[in-house]
Structure 1
Amino acid sequence: MTRPSLLIMSFSPLQADARVLKQIRLFTPLYDVTTCGYGEAPEGVVAHVRIPDHLKAWKYDGKPLRVRAYRWAYWKNPVVAHLRRTMPRGTFDAILADDIDTVGLALHLAPRRGVHVDLHEYAPRMNEHLPAWNRWVRPFLSWMVRRYVRRADSITAVAPHIAQEYAARFGLGTVGVVVNATPYHELEPTSVGEPLRLVHSGAARPARRIEDMIEAVAGQEGMIFDLYLTQNTGPYYEKLQELAASTDNVTIKDPVPYEELIGTLHGYDVGVFSLPPTNFNYEWALPNKIFDYVQARLGIAISPSPEMAQLVREHDLGVIAEGFAATDLRDVLRGLDAQQVARFKESSHAAAHALSAERTMEPWREAIGALLDR
């Protein structure tokens, strides 16, 4: 019996896109999955449409944006134009379109049973701290939501408040939530180290103010802090290296492959993340690293970002700073003791199943199933 066909489309390097890889692993046992994106074919798919490396997805002509010729700007995008020209219409039963810029193309390809859109972050306000973004890009992305996303059969986003904002701002009806959870790992909490072993993993982006986390730990007795940073080139990374080198308890380490990350984190006690609310997505972030820390059976120390704080409180996973300054994080870290951290690590262990990718992907399974299993 022929299985239904599903196209998973993302204008990203698929092998490095953890969220899209979870979709692929979820659906390849159920349907004939074709992928479209940059790089080699992921494991388990029946076919792959590789976007040529020289075509850049985020390359929109500024002139039509300035005169608000948005339809012209979208369809002249190099990737959209290439795929529109080369991919046949009416070939797939359903399409899972990742991120806002794939949606118009997914609708054009006319899948027989419909389109599900996974919007990830809140696109229109992604870089709202930049005046040029607000003037030219934000209206364009808002147009994409009204023009294309509204026509989707179902929609998901990455965090509760982001889903609510999409629904309320654009009249999208119900927007489901699939958090960026990590696959379940069969691990046990380790005993608390002496000194206390703190860790952070993530991208070295200036807007994240990683220097505040370093300053919060620098010189604190009874704790060490290791950072595994991607995007480890450029002036900002060099600045962080210099700052860490000026301390006796902070070290910046080379990043590890994602498949090795949880095992690496497991050797620590507390995962740290402070994120200043410089834009809407940062304010309401619920990032994958929080779920990485849970699967690694760590305690968690965070800034008071609402979505993260709610999760930490609900499961008793760790401590929350009073504010976003380095001094706020320093104060809450200074109050940690081994008994507390041991409790937090046990709480992560207790919540690991509930907060795993396997449990939290159900809205995707339901949405695609509604299209393909009817």
Structure 2
Amino acid sequence: MSASDRTLLILSLSPLRSDPRVLKQINLFKDRYTVTTCGFGPAPDGVAGHVELDRALPSWPRDPQRLLLRRYPQVYWGIAAVAEAGRQLRGRSFDAVLANDANTLPLALSLAPARGVHADLHEFAPKEHFNKPAWRLLVAPYVRWLCRTYLPQAASVTTVSEGIARQYGQDFGVSAGVVTNAAPYTEREPRPTQLPIRLLYSSAGQRYRRIENIMEAMRGTPEHLELDLIVMPNEPAYVAELVELGRTLPRVRFRDPVPYTELVDTVAEYDVSVSVIPPTNFNLAHALPNKFFEAVQGRTGLVIGPSPAMQALLERHGLGAVTRDFSAQALREVLGSLTPELVDGWKRHAHEAARELSSEHQNLGWERAIAALLDGRA
């Protein structure tokens, strides 16, 4: 059987056409194997088949009574998106399944693919919303059960950073490889830095990210600095507060979100990408986010907080500066030191590191894992 005859299901309870990590998997495998996708929204380009799930279907439990009673199998199979995906996939056979996140694992394993399941974990699932008391009380024990029961049944596992991989190993005894959220390589030259120096901050609009600190850091900075923000409307009331705050700050503007395919080109319009992420939960403490790698491909400098995973890469390649802590004052100090000459040096280093830090290099982790499954070596 040729590689193109091998059947691979890529399963994710997310909107596939706008999920950067899943799109990288699809683009990596769609021309190598016969790829079917299952997730929210219409089919991604180039796949052989697609199981579309209604975006309105919940993908996490909404059954507090059963969660409290720890009737976890009933909780899982009662999740609307899981039940609908199971119904549509029933009776179909695949050589392998690439299951994204812990909440797809029982479903993927229930399909009994001939060569097994690879799990790609985008976060450390048991602590994903640990800052919310109700989630910590009811959902976290359920997620630990999910991981404890099903992760050891996966033939192979990957996740997004070394810190998260270590935690999965310590808590659940699985050996997880690391595939970072790197962006695809782009061929471009660094753009010379001129005044005003243009700063960009892009993020999900969630209160625990403390985006107001990024904005407040602009208060009192030199007039040759300008900050644009791209904030997704995850928490509309919070985003409205940020917009109101922006009206009181000089040289701070909001711009509309752009499609994933246009992100790197958008970042390349700027001189410095700000990626200060306070460690308000476990996953943010170990963050190595998309925007770090989009800045590299945009040949843009970086200013980050002292997040270990980001700091190690930034200092290894000379990509930018690290603030002393996550406060507005610490960011203000770094921003006040920016000069065109300093930023041009960061841009040159980003250009030199762009191939090594591209998804083409990072995706070898998925490539090897799926090849091992389909060749019977996992």
Alignment of 1:117-136 (within 5 A): 117-136=119-138
Alignment of 1:181-196 (within 5 A): 181-196=182-197
Say if 1:59 and 1:328 are closer, same or farther in 2 by CA, change over 3 A.
same
The aligned amino acid for 2:134 is A
Q: Among 150, 163, 166, which residue is 1:164 paired with? A: 166
Q: Which residue of 2 aligns with 1:238?
A: 240
1:70 equivalent in alignment to 2:66: no
Does the CA contact (< 8 Å) of 1:90 and 1:111 recur in 2? no
**In structure 1, distance between residues paired with 2:204 and 2:218:** 19
- Once the two structures are TM-superposed, the CA of residue 152 in structure 1 deviates from its matched residue by 0.4
Q: Which residue of 2 aligns with 1:34?
A: 36
Q: Among 245, 249, 252, which residue is 1:247 paired with? A: 249
Q: Which residue of 2 aligns with 1:93?
A: 95
Does the CA contact (< 8 Å) of 1:90 and 1:110 recur in 2? no
Say if 1:95 and 1:296 are closer, same or farther in 2 by CA, change over 3 A.
same
Q: Which residue of 2 aligns with 1:197?
A: 198
Q: CA RMSD in A?
A: 1.4
Q: Which residue of 1 aligns with 2:286?
A: 284
Q: Which residue of 1 aligns with 2:317?
A: 315
- Once the two structures are TM-superposed, the CA of residue 290 in structure 1 deviates from its matched residue by 0.4
Alignment of 1:1-374 (within 5 A): 3-89=5-91, 91-172=93-174, 174-221=175-222, 222-231=224-233, 234-374=236-376
- Once the two structures are TM-superposed, the CA of residue 90 in structure 1 deviates from its matched residue by 6.1
- Once the two structures are TM-superposed, the CA of residue 154 in structure 1 deviates from its matched residue by 0.2
Gaps of 5+ in 1: none
Say if 1:234 and 1:81 are closer, same or farther in 2 by CA, change over 3 A.
closer
**In structure 2, distance between residues paired with 1:24 and 1:79:** 21
- Once the two structures are TM-superposed, the CA of residue 187 in structure 1 deviates from its matched residue by 1.0
| SS of equivalent residue, structure 2 residue 291 | helix
The aligned amino acid for 1:47 is G
Does the CA contact (< 8 Å) of 2:287 and 2:307 recur in 1? yes
The aligned amino acid for 1:84 is G
The aligned amino acid for 1:25 is N
| SS of equivalent residue, structure 2 residue 198 | strand
**In structure 2, distance between residues paired with 1:259 and 1:59:** 32
| SS of equivalent residue, structure 2 residue 369 | helix
Does the CA contact (< 8 Å) of 2:190 and 2:299 recur in 1? yes
The aligned amino acid for 1:168 is Q
- Once the two structures are TM-superposed, the CA of residue 235 in structure 1 deviates from its matched residue by 2.3
- Once the two structures are TM-superposed, the CA of residue 89 in structure 1 deviates from its matched residue by 4.3
- Once the two structures are TM-superposed, the CA of residue 367 in structure 1 deviates from its matched residue by 0.5
Does the CA contact (< 8 Å) of 2:206 and 2:234 recur in 1? no
**In structure 2, distance between residues paired with 1:298 and 1:171:** 39
Identity within the alignment, %: 45
The aligned amino acid for 2:23 is L
The aligned amino acid for 1:281 is N
Moved more, 135-144 or 256-265: 256-265
The number of residues matched between the two structures is 373
**In structure 1, distance between residues paired with 2:315 and 2:55:** 44
- Once the two structures are TM-superposed, the CA of residue 232 in structure 1 deviates from its matched residue by 7.3
**In structure 2, distance between residues paired with 1:269 and 1:328:** 19
Does the CA contact (< 8 Å) of 2:18 and 2:259 recur in 1? no
The aligned amino acid for 2:252 is V
Gaps of 5+ in 2: none
- Once the two structures are TM-superposed, the CA of residue 48 in structure 1 deviates from its matched residue by 0.5
| SS of equivalent residue, structure 2 residue 321 | strand
**In structure 1, distance between residues paired with 2:213 and 2:180:** 26
**In structure 1, distance between residues paired with 2:148 and 2:91:** 23
Q: Deviations over 1:290-316 (max 9, x none)?
A: 001111101100111111111111110
- Once the two structures are TM-superposed, the CA of residue 336 in structure 1 deviates from its matched residue by 2.1
- Once the two structures are TM-superposed, the CA of residue 197 in structure 1 deviates from its matched residue by 1.1
| SS of equivalent residue, structure 2 residue 217 | helix
Does the CA contact (< 8 Å) of 1:157 and 1:163 recur in 2? yes
Say if 1:90 and 1:186 are closer, same or farther in 2 by CA, change over 3 A.
same
Does the CA contact (< 8 Å) of 1:219 and 1:249 recur in 2? no
- Once the two structures are TM-superposed, the CA of residue 275 in structure 1 deviates from its matched residue by 1.1
Question: What is the TM-score when the length of structure 2 is the normalising length?
Answer: 0.96
The aligned amino acid for 1:302 is I
**In structure 1, distance between residues paired with 2:254 and 2:275:** 15
- Once the two structures are TM-superposed, the CA of residue 60 in structure 1 deviates from its matched residue by 3.2
Say if 1:76 and 1:309 are closer, same or farther in 2 by CA, change over 3 A.
same
Q: Deviations over 1:177-235 (max 9, x none)?
A: 11111111111111112121111122221111111111112331121111122217722
Say if 1:215 and 1:53 are closer, same or farther in 2 by CA, change over 3 A.
closer
The aligned amino acid for 2:106 is G
